Amino acid sequence: MECRIVTIPGDGIGPEIVREACKVLDKVAQVYGHSFRYQEVLMGGCSIDAYGVPLTEEALKAARESDAVLLGAVGGDVGNSRWYDVAPNLRPEAGLLAIRKGLNLFANIRPAYLYRELAEACPLKKEIIGEGFDMVIMRELTGGLYFGERHTEEAGGVLQATDTLTYNENEIRRIAVKAFGIAMKRRKSVISVDKANVLDSSRLWRKVVEEVAKDYPEVKLEHMLVDNCAMQLVMNPGQFDVVLTENMFGDILSDEASMITGSIGMLPSASLNESRFGMYEPSHGSAPDIAGKDLANPIATVLSAAMMLRYSFDLDKEADAIESAVQKVLTEGYRTPDIMSEGCKKVGTIQMGNLIAERI
């Protein structure tokens, strides 16, 4: 198979971790007889420096014409005045919102899985972890508060800011269908998270999700308020299979879920549109404080590449090979600094990439 992949290294540690993911993909191509062709484009702070905007039309066009997009991370230190002392639509993260909208990537899939080897890195007590946990957070990505109308104005001599949270039933239905479809391939359980005791948007969310659930009688549906879900994630994470939620709640809960796995550096994600096209990226940020120091954990990006093979290219065997290689490296005791524990062997970004590629 020949696949055209647009890579967006981005800012901070982005170029380092994307480099290692491509190294692993190249090994997969060699072993399984595929051809992966890469086209690198700029997005985020590096695009602002080069072009004055976080995402150019040319970069978006290249992404649209590819088979999939592999993204590192965008943004930097908010103290970087050249990137943040500007209008919100010109900041690095605006490029991320723009490419999601421009590619219609409405479904964000974030697995949160606790590797047995990393149980010591999990901040939760052993009695809470139990036999571990394996969940998927399905986050709606192109609607809600982040994409609603917003403005700041002076009213009666006082500055007032307004952000609008809007969802329509079609936006809710399509993400719910994705969530139930994934649940059918897992443990057949969906917990839909909202704030229906307060928000009209959440009451509509609950209504539409219940309608979709009727088409999946094998799947158990439960509703959970977002504040309760935040507590339950640290009290009993093993209860979750597929968590379905809107944009802002999903942003917060997926980061919480990532940290209880031991390190945010371990969590991949996929953002999909109506077709098989997707953008794949680690759940963590750009970590500018460790950029260029060979300290970054590339595993989340490597696992994101595995998700790309699985969801966009139907290469399940190859995706399994990457995931198995990551498991082998961890079982052998290799760790980047963020997941290091006593008795293990500390390695840097480059060596971790080499070790995973060698085990494909």
Q: End of a domain among 210, 244, 260? A: 260
For the question of residue 251 being annotated catalytic, the response is yes
Between these two residues, 142 and 304, which has the higher pLDDT value?
304
Same domain, 152 and 251: yes
Q: For the packed helices 92-102 and 57-64, what is the interaxial angle rounded to 10 degrees?
A: 40
| 337 found inside a domain | yes
Can 126 be counted among the known catalytic residues? no
pLDDT band (50, 70, 90) for residue 24: very high
Look at residue 64 and tell me if it is in a domain: yes
Structural domain includes residue 112: no
Q: Does any domain span residue 111?
A: no
Among 167, 178, 195, 334, the active-site one is 195
In the predicted structure, residue 79 carries a pLDDT above the cut 70: no
pLDDT band at 80; cut points 50, 70, 90 = low
Q: Are residues 217 and 155 in the same domain?
A: yes
Which CATH number is 196's domain given? 3.40.718.10
Tell me the per-residue pLDDT of 91-112, one tens digit each, with 9 for 90 and over. 999 999 899 989 999 999 999 9
What percent of the chain has a predicted confidence (pLDDT) above 70? 99
274-298 tens-digit pLDDT: 888 999 999 888 999 999 999 999 9
Query: Does residue 100 share a domain with residue 11?
Result: yes
The one-letter amino acid code at 268 reads P
Judge whether 202 lies within some domain. yes
Catalytic residue, candidates 227, 289, 314, 320: 227
* Residue 256 shares a structural domain with residue 273: no
Spot the catalytic one: 115, 146, 167, 280: 146
- Catalytic pick among 251, 280, 311, 334: 251
Identify whether 11 is a catalytic site residue.
Answer: no
pTM (2 d.p.) = 0.85
Residue 195 Cα distances to 52, 212, 249, angstroms: 39, 19, 9
Same domain, 95 and 129: no
Residues in the chain, overall count: 360
Asked if residues 314 and 272 have their Cβ atoms less than 8 Å apart, the reply is no
Same domain, 256 and 140: yes
Q: d(Cα 88, Cα 94) in Å, to the nearest integer? A: 7
Domain boundary among 206, 235, 260: 260
Q: CA-to-CA distance for 306 and 255, rounded, in angstroms?
A: 20
Same domain for 100 and 133?
A: no
Integer Cα distance of 174 and 230 in angstroms:
24
How far is residue 253 from each of residues 13, 100, 232, 243, 350, measured CA to CA in Å?
23, 19, 11, 9, 30
178 is known as an active-site residue: no
Instruction: Please check whether residue 245 lies inside any domain of the structure.
Output: yes
Structure confidence at residue 120 (pLDDT)? 80
Q: Residue 6 pLDDT > 70, yes or no?
A: yes
Indicate if the pLDDT at residue 78 is higher than 80. no
pLDDT band of residue 33 (cuts 50, 70, 90) is very high
As a whole number, the mean pLDDT across the chain is 94
State residue 264's pLDDT score. 74
- What's the rounded mean pLDDT across residues 316-339? 95
- H or E segment and range at residue 262: none
C-alpha closest to that of 246 among 299, 212, 295, 204? 204
Residue 311 lies in a domain: yes
* Residue range 347-358: mean pLDDT, rounded: 98
Domain residues for the domain of 215 are 123-260
Residue that finishes a domain, picked among 222, 240, 260: 260
Q: In the annotation, is 334 catalytic?
A: no
| Residue 135 near residue 257 (C-beta atoms within 8 A) | yes
* Count of domains for the chain: 2
